[in-house]
Structure 1
């Protein structure tokens, strides 16, 4: 998990269910979004119309066209002659069959100068499928459908389509190779995409100039060393915090007492509450959990110790939605993957711009909801003014000092959240002022609208790119990685805490009769 927490967030309705209902989780990015990266027509998927006078840019394109004609007409063939200048294809079984395709090279393209479609042989009628149904031929046929329908077909779908449309049974391995070849036909290979990467990034920067990050930006992730190194390299001077749930997974073995104290230490606003929670952890596990937490550093996981504001303020909903949205796009070459990410961000800007413009509240919905809760809490407090701007707020056995001029409270919620806490709300109401005057502009609808009033622009077609020579000549090669055995996992592995929560949410029921009122062990009908 990797999330960026900014000290000037725009609180939004981060409801994952609402995101799902808006079709964020679709299996594939529309292919027309990637038109700027598609291979040009001169290198594209050949037309399956084979006739006298047909022209093709490469011999492979010509061979695929013959293979497509073979699928439609079930006429097996053999190559009688093939060199750099000529290609002669005749029928496979009998010499006197008139079927023949002759093509020649004309400096820049191949042209079919003779095509005899008629064939009189009967040998192939008993065959279930012609032998020349290669993966590249199937890929050429379905690449057009993938590009037109805007999704990548699965191998089982390709097999079903081949059987339904042509009555041809293909193996899963052939269908898988056809799917991968079709992706390469549309977008190019991974090696070609890495070669294009410097030019693509240059055009991306020229089209969408970056605006940089706030100096107090906080990046929250797990404790993997590679992420820490990348943060310092890409965002020098930025604070790097650790995710609470990832750390919690390492401390569950110390018992519920330690985990509950760890939660209080991580999310407490007041340092006195943090010290009290850490004292409890030290009492329960002095040489285990306490030592590990101190070695990691409280400034990386504790809200009260964090050098910047808003640790634990933002959720990872956007990241989870983005991961699910790009599940299929991860299989694409790197430039197409980056373009898919750009497209998702473009959609987010468009939809949230519309949502922000449709509302006329002073604050965002989440800010209003939190402010109402603080107002309800403040009704039972006793407020005593000590000056024009400072107040003593009594709540139960505790006493808090609120300074409206400094916008601070002893509980530290006012300073960290930049929104009046319940004690500050009581002081503001006692002073006869408006609570909205003490809410930072980050929570206002005007700020939200300004955040999304910009646009994420699409790139022009790569044939129209103007890239400096020193950038276009840069060589970038794919990373050399050793593939592990088995099928690669497409989903992120949940942490221990996440997996436990998912298991708890799953209703228990009898595995024999699916009755939620009893289990398999005490099933009354088990012995029947």
Structure 2
């Protein structure tokens, strides 16, 4: 065992007992061994436990241990300091026992969050009477879940949860103005009601906090009988766990329980629809995890060799799905700059699923998706798993620069998985966060000026230039300048950032993929992934074909930027440096003097290093020595690299939507195929059709010639019409023809007339 690490034995599934002396002993359950290092973060510690215990959801467990020679008190591990203390305390111990225990929920409503837009109760205390029964309304304690400005939440999901309970308790409706992982703004839907609330997460402080809230409502409280907050998906999330245990949970019982526990009056159809959604989620997700997704991953790798497609089943029919097509991996490795944008996207209308994406950019600056994963929510555990899958898929031959918003532990997870990488802020996210710091006291014109100062500080190439714009911001607000410095300029300003962005600061792939996913249909995960595959296949073919007409050495966008710098270089004065013996260093004079080292591809203005294209000072020197500027451009802007990016194709998967009978492999189970596209529910309760409406008896018909009563059913009349059309008989002969040609089995349908 090395220095700074301990051997830990994970105990899970057992129980504690206490003897007369207060000593605690543990019995039962399972034991697993793992190594704990002193330099781990708490996030890395939880991830290792999850991997050791077959990918359990560690957020549902707590971790405890005993101090050496103390069996009376359990010590909790809940952060980095607790973890480091445990390693120090047990540095001399041969083994350390860590107890993985389920979180206890005492008198609490244990309910799942349906999606990012419909949060439900996870922490509300349920008041009890002396006999232990629930009070009439759980939501009686929800009136004070939102207290005012400065209240802190664990994240946007917890804030939406509290807002949802607050609205139910105060009987008002609200709508979201902004709703994403960094900020949430909502307002009351009452006519002329000014009530509004805004909460956001500051990059400097790891807290999601209420920044603004109106004092009171001017609208009247609405009756709960028409409470729109009790949406179908919210009802489904509330009853899902009980429906799992009691499949015969009736709509009337659902409505009664919600009235008693939440004070919400639902009619029968609302409860019925909620139960229908819960049943669909319980069964369709399970089928996908057990059969469809493993089969689909196999088909991806069969039709697209060397692709990566992995599905990991988890508890409660949840899963993790990672997909990276070989064409995308090859294009990133051979044609794209080593730059990846990490984003999370809500798969609408499948809001219960999140897409974790890694996207690069091609030589034209257009998005180039490299890999994506489907998970149930955005968390540090999912991001760690996604980054590990990404690392095993891409080549490790070059250091990668990552750009993200840093949320959900990404600042810790990226260097943990990619230790040699650089990680910076997404500029669009930073600017939006900066705008939230500007309160209502700022005029619109002043806001625009401050945002412009921030942009110039972001794109500043030198430290002096950066300090100049920070001073301008500080002159208007010391608080804003301090806020910018607290979030580490080395993560977002060109003057300090060590990675290679080559002029690419943000990525619009989330909006692109949202356009790809149809909002009219509710898609299964197989259909969702296959739609993305189809769009990627089309995108790669279109761009490959368009590049065939390019004749320049650089791509059109890069060539245009270079020509702009060439036009500026004509008026510059170039002087060889006197102190340089090799003749590769020059002084370029304009408003100031910049030194260019032509062999090292460096200029003191630093624009050449930051953009990857020669600046006007470098171009002036290049033309002075008779060289071509194209030879001094980073290779990622060349047309050749662009064509390498799209040189391979993503192949179709022909049998994704075929019925099982058409497949040649009859061993495949029918559930391994994607279900047909599920359209949205129509208004009103769905009508159930009879088993066979054709046999419904309408009326009796008297035969014109044989005086028999014929039972008029759809089957009989269809037979008469077919025979009439076949033999060309007229209407008067139809009945006689039928009576003479009908089979004996149909004779029972004829009876003598009275």
Normalising by structure 2, report the TM-score.
0.35
More RCO (CA 8 Å, sep 6+): 1
Normalising by structure 1, report the TM-score.
0.48
Larger radius of gyration between Structure 1 and Structure 2: 2
Of Structure 1 and Structure 2, the greater strand share is in 2
